[in-house]
Amino acid sequence: MSESPTVEELNQRFAITGVAQITAGNGGLPRVCVSTPAATAEIYMHGAQLTSWRPRGAEEVIFLSEQSPWKEGHAIRGGIPICFPWFRNKADDPNAPSHGFVRTKAWQLDSVESKGDSAVVSLSTASDAATRAWWPHDFRLVHRLTIGAELTQELVVSNSGTAPLRFEEALHTYYRVAAAESLRITGLDGVDYLDNTDANREKRQEGDIVFTGQTDRAYLDTTHAVEISDPTMRRRIRLAKEDSRTTVVWNPWKEGARSLADLGDDEWRTMACVEAGNIRSFAVDLVPGKQHSMKTSIQVAEAPRDST
């Protein structure tokens, strides 16, 4: 196996003066630091995971836990982890890593481009002996991020093997908020969901989502855009998506936070997950030689202080 390129080698290939630089991040893990006229961002090659996005003139949009371990083989708590090829626990193997194996894998940096007020960063990974120990399929993943006043992400899955494959996927977005209890999430009224805090019983959303306790829901057969209204921070965050038929909404609340070693006991108050995916009965079937693409876009707008 060839050694991973050094930060210096990555900079020689991909750095763009005044726009993108590769540095040693937390735990010495390499990251791409992006600065454009419209926004700044940080993307770790560990998991191809975005950990920061801040439009110019705005506060940080992405939550990152102060307790994240920043070690190879461990997931980064916060940011936008990529869940693949299963979501939550693997149905037939309780010992398999939660949310799949690509979020703890070192990805390859493929390209960095400057486009007007934005920058486009592309990373990739593929099946190998380590992934086949958990999942016996051949695949290639490409994660393409466009950093600007709007954050767009595209996850492209290719079946590079000779057999059909079925997978789940999610862009597990952690948003930084002022107070989880004050949020109002719109766009899912009338949608059926599976309640993971109640044995995955199917229920129907009535009205807006307001956090009043531990929340872990998979909203089904929905392509709707979702908006998070944060009156304390006076902003609205809008998530739109393509080729995604499930939306997961999660906040661990105080009980769940205490059970997670990489999340501070009180950090549940300043985070909320609203994520695009294709999970459970909406898992994707892909025949050999074909590919599937899921896209998301995130926008931030100012909201009045008394917005509800």
What confidence category does residue 3 fall into, taking pLDDT thresholds of 50, 70 and 90? confident
pLDDT of residue 303: 77
pLDDT digits (tens, 9 = 90+) for 106-157: 999 999 999 999 999 999 999 999 999 999 999 999 999 999 999 999 999 9
Domains of the chain: 7-302 (2.70.98.10)
Q: Residue 75, Cβ neighbours under 10 Å: how many?
A: 21
**In angstroms, how far is CA 238 from the centroid of its own chain?**
15
DSSP element (H, E) containing 254: helix 253-258
Question: Each residue of 243-266: b (16+ CB within 10 Å) or e?
Answer: bbbbbbbbbbbeebbeeeebbeee
How far, in Å, are 132, 188, 247, 295 from residue 242 at the CA level?
A: 29, 16, 12, 5
pTM: 0.96
Phi and psi torsions of 257, nearest 5°: -60, -40
What confidence category does residue 2 fall into, taking pLDDT thresholds of 50, 70 and 90? low
* Residue 191 per-residue DSSP state: -
